Amino acid sequence: MATIIDGKLTSKNTRQRIAEKTQELIKRTGVKPGLAVIIVGEDPASQVYVRNKKNGCAEVGFYSREYALPEATTQEALLRLISELNSDDAIHGILVQLPLPEHIDENAVIQAIASEKDVDAFGYASVGKIMIGKYDFLPCTPAGVMELLRAYGIDPAGKNAVVVGRSNIVGKPQAMLLLHANATVTITHSRTADLADITRKADILVVAIGKPKFITADMVKEGAVVIDVGMNRTPEGLCGDVDFAEVEKKASFITPVPGGVGPMTITMLLSNTLTAAETFADKK
Ligand code: NDP
């Protein structure tokens, strides 16, 4: 039976360190890290994420401001708000909750966030830095995965790592972080031929596709480390992309859903916001 990777506990320990560093920063410079979270419309899942982000800020002693804008908000109005926040000294990180309503160009909004406040690390400058491996801000979900591996003493160096999914927010940056950690990385996607043949060679398997219980035990190597990023709302409740009950019997380590990668994502967002505030304080 696999060791269960406890994302809640790891997250709690990491947040404790962030809270301590926050107090040090405030004492040393008077700067309190500030995060602005913008949500447009009333998507219930987005509302949960925004609430969790606000609670996360309170937990580590940050200042936070929430902008809950109506569905009909124009792109122009949203860009104006971002421009104001870009020059607001109380705000060090700006996060726009995705997805946005269809009439708003998501990319235009993401790119409007000043790079020094791009705590989600989705802007061109942040993505470029991730590619090079010299980042200010970590891509939150993939960085959360790396933190979990570290916490459980799993070193990716020299291992075969397979990432299932190639999205800009999870799959691609995940592959980069594993590569920077010296894994040999394969990225797979919906057009990959014979996916199971590739996943079966993975020492570390990271799955981010959004399909409930898609990865079955026959697709996993005995003793593999299995990281399930998927979050699927099903009639039976929240579940991951991995058939946990079966794969758990074969893996050496596995993340549960919920309670695995999920809690780490917001923790890494808080970590990025602290970094942004530290950089701001140093330049003051
Ligand atoms: P996207 O929908 O943007 O990307 C899904 C990726 O999975 C695509 O690259 C797609 O391939 C690939 N894919 C789809 N079907 C298959 C298949 N049958 N075989 C192989 N690959 C496939 O999703 P995200 O990356 O944004 O999210 C993935 C999952 O992770 C979701 O469940 C999401 O809710 C969750 N998530 C969880 C987070 C957390 O904090 N825990 C944060 C972000 C996401 P192709 O490119 O060819 O279409």
Please list the rounded mean pLDDT of every run of 10 residues in the chain (284 residues). Answer: 97 98 98 98 91 96 97 98 98 97 98 98 97 93 98 98 98 98 98 98 98 98 98 94 98 97 96 98 92
Nearest to residue 39, comparing CAs of 120, 100, 112, 102?
100
What is the maximum alpha-carbon separation in the chain? Answer: 56
DSSP 216: -
97 counts as catalytic: yes
Residue 249 has what pLDDT?
Answer: 98
Best residue among 107, 146, 170, 241 to mutate for probing ligand 1, ranked by most atoms within 8 Å of CB = 170
**CA dist 71 to 40, 66, 97, 265, Å?**
6, 15, 13, 25
Nearest to residue 254, comparing CAs of 267, 242, 264, 266?
242
Best residue among 49, 199, 209 to mutate for probing ligand 1, ranked by most atoms within 8 Å of CB = 209
Contact 82, 94 (CB under 8 A): yes
120 counts as catalytic: yes
Instruction: Point out the catalytic residue in the list 120, 203, 228, 241.
Output: 120
- Kindly give the pairing relationship between strand 204-207 and strand 225-228: parallel
Residue 45 has what pLDDT?
Answer: 87
Helix, strand, coil shares of the chain, percent, nearest 5, are: 45, 15, 40
Q: Which residues pair with 96 in a beta bridge?
A: 38
Residue 235 has what pLDDT?
Answer: 93
